[in-house]
Amino acid sequence: MSFDLVLKNARIGGAEEQAVDIGFRDGRVAAIASELDQDAPFEDLENRLVLPGLVETHIHLDKSCILGRCHTVNGTLDEAIAAVAAAKRNFTEADVYERAGKTLEKAVLQGTMRMRTHVEVDPRIGLTSVRALLRLKQDYAWAIGIELCVFPQEGLLDDPGCEDVMVEALELGADVVGGAPYMDKDAHGQIARIFSLARRFDVDIDFHLDFGLDPSHLDIEEVCRKTDKYGWGGRVAVGHVTKFSSLSPDRFETVARLLESAGVAVTVLPSTDLFLTGRDHDHDVPRGVTPLHKLKAQGITCSLSTNNVLNPFTPFGDCSLVRMANLYANIAQVGSPAGMAACLDMVSSQSAKLMNLDDYGIAPGNPADLVVLDCASRAEAVSELSPVLAGFKGGVRTFSRSAPILHRPV
Ligand SMILES: [Zn+2]
């Protein structure tokens, strides 16, 4: 068997105990074995970890990198929404393309190869951001697969004309429909409209849901009811759900069973949740990060993601999903090697499952989309924040980063 390229001595995540050779042919993984064809061009990975390209399920490219344009004081969710709504009035297609492209390139260099970006649409911004991101999706297809999830950040029912723009965006090529029910007076009414759009366009759903810390009312129950009613199990995700962090163990258990039986996936955005939550407390501040690993242990599809980059929702961001896994493990007090490996799965295989990526994973026949990390195991990647050194998409190298070198005195 001949190969276009062989990666030698690779430790594939999930089976990292033993190093193997991975052979590429025609853009796909053609073979995996302890030793492959010596005549093919090869690269020796020297026992480094190899993962399928990382997966970002929830990021806002359109409103990234606008910190300098926003003035905020309290650091609350409401303030962030208002500040971005004001800044958004001046967005142009070229401006969104430029900022989103900068953020996207950072993500690519951190090993992200699949991405769901949430895009705001409303009667004021119209399709400006959608058009910019559709162009970006095309221009960067060599490095990353992007899907667009359009959603009404400023409300749907209470913002007349917004649904028409959502429909136009879906007709133009948006892949997923999203919601933010807490933005409308009638949250259940918005949930119903989003399901109606999803059924009309046959697309998956991704909600921003259950923000805050007061668990006396949860919208997740309605989302699960509708998911069951329309047979949308496996096609619905909910993000943030900071209210789950305030649930007593028995209520948390009840919600977990509900999610599991409806087939609703969960995304936690640790950086944003930590930054925005509990602003009304002056000590003993609750952190609002839902214990996602406990949901994962119950068979629920769970993803960790970046959410916002350099804006009033999150004034941080290197777009590193390995860092997000590390941040989560730290705040959720996950310390065992198996637990840390599971955190890495939540930025790779679990996230791929949330996005229904059927061709994901390093296996013969799948696209040769993979990244090389400077470590030997998933647990080590999370505990030591190991850098991503290289990526291959369709068998072609898409980026390189150098491993650090110590210059000892001679
Ligand atoms: Zn978000």
- The 10s digit of each residue's pLDDT in 117-144 is 999 999 999 999 999 999 999 999 999 9
Q: What is the pLDDT of residue 71?
A: 86
Spell out where 165-219 has E strands: 176-179, 204-209
Helices (H), 288-390: 292-296, 321-331, 337-345, 349-354, 378-384
- Using only C-alpha atoms, the chain has a radius of gyration, in whole angstroms, of 21
C-alpha 258 – ligand 1 centre gap (Å): 23
Q: What is the pLDDT of residue 224?
A: 98
Distance in angstroms (rounded) separating the CA atoms of residues 56 and 305? 6
C-alpha 261 – ligand 1 centre gap (Å): 25
C-alpha 78 – ligand 1 centre gap (Å): 13
Which letter does DSSP use for residue 247 in this model? S
Helix, strand, coil share of the chain (percent; to 5): 35, 25, 40
C-alpha 188 – ligand 1 centre gap (Å): 19
C-alpha 6 – ligand 1 centre gap (Å): 39
C-alpha 153 – ligand 1 centre gap (Å): 9
C-alpha 208 – ligand 1 centre gap (Å): 6
What string of H, E and C letters represents the secondary structure of 253-276?
Answer: HHHHHHHHHHCEEEEECHHHHHHH
C-alpha 270 – ligand 1 centre gap (Å): 11
C-alpha 139 – ligand 1 centre gap (Å): 24
Q: What is the pLDDT of residue 140?
A: 98
pLDDT score of 36 more than 90: yes
What's the gap between Cα 325 and its chain centre?
11
328 — pLDDT class (breaks 50, 70, 90): very high
Q: Helix, strand or coil for residue 49?
A: strand
**pLDDT > 70: what percent of the chain?**
100
C-alpha 398 – ligand 1 centre gap (Å): 27
C-alpha 152 – ligand 1 centre gap (Å): 11
C-alpha 387 – ligand 1 centre gap (Å): 25
Q: What is the pLDDT of residue 37?
A: 80
C-alpha 272 – ligand 1 centre gap (Å): 9
Which range (13-17, 38-42, 219-223, 327-331) has the least confidence? 38-42
pLDDT tens track for 176-223: 999 999 999 999 999 999 999 999 999 999 999 999 999 999 999 999
C-alpha 290 – ligand 1 centre gap (Å): 15
C-alpha 150 – ligand 1 centre gap (Å): 11
pLDDT score of 75 more than 90: no
C-alpha 241 – ligand 1 centre gap (Å): 11
**Residue 403 vs residue 226, higher pLDDT:** 226
**pLDDT > 90: what percent of the chain?**
95
Look at the alpha carbons of 51, 52, 54, 56 in this order and tell me if their dihedral is positive or negative. negative
C-alpha 177 – ligand 1 centre gap (Å): 13
Query: What average pLDDT score do residues 79-86 get?
Result: 91
Q: What is the mean pLDDT of the chain?
A: 96
The owner of tokens 């190298």 is 397
C-alpha 14 – ligand 1 centre gap (Å): 29
Distance in angstroms (rounded) separating the CA atoms of residues 308 and 343? 20
C-alpha 230 – ligand 1 centre gap (Å): 25
C-alpha 331 – ligand 1 centre gap (Å): 20
pLDDT tens track for 348-398: 999 999 999 999 999 999 999 999 999 999 999 999 999 999 999 999 999
Which letter does DSSP use for residue 404 in this model? P
C-alpha 180 – ligand 1 centre gap (Å): 9
C-alpha 57 – ligand 1 centre gap (Å): 10
C-alpha 151 – ligand 1 centre gap (Å): 10
C-alpha 5 – ligand 1 centre gap (Å): 39
C-alpha 267 – ligand 1 centre gap (Å): 10
74 — pLDDT class (breaks 50, 70, 90): confident
241 — pLDDT class (breaks 50, 70, 90): very high
C-alpha 120 – ligand 1 centre gap (Å): 10
pLDDT tens track for 139-159: 999 999 999 999 999 999 999
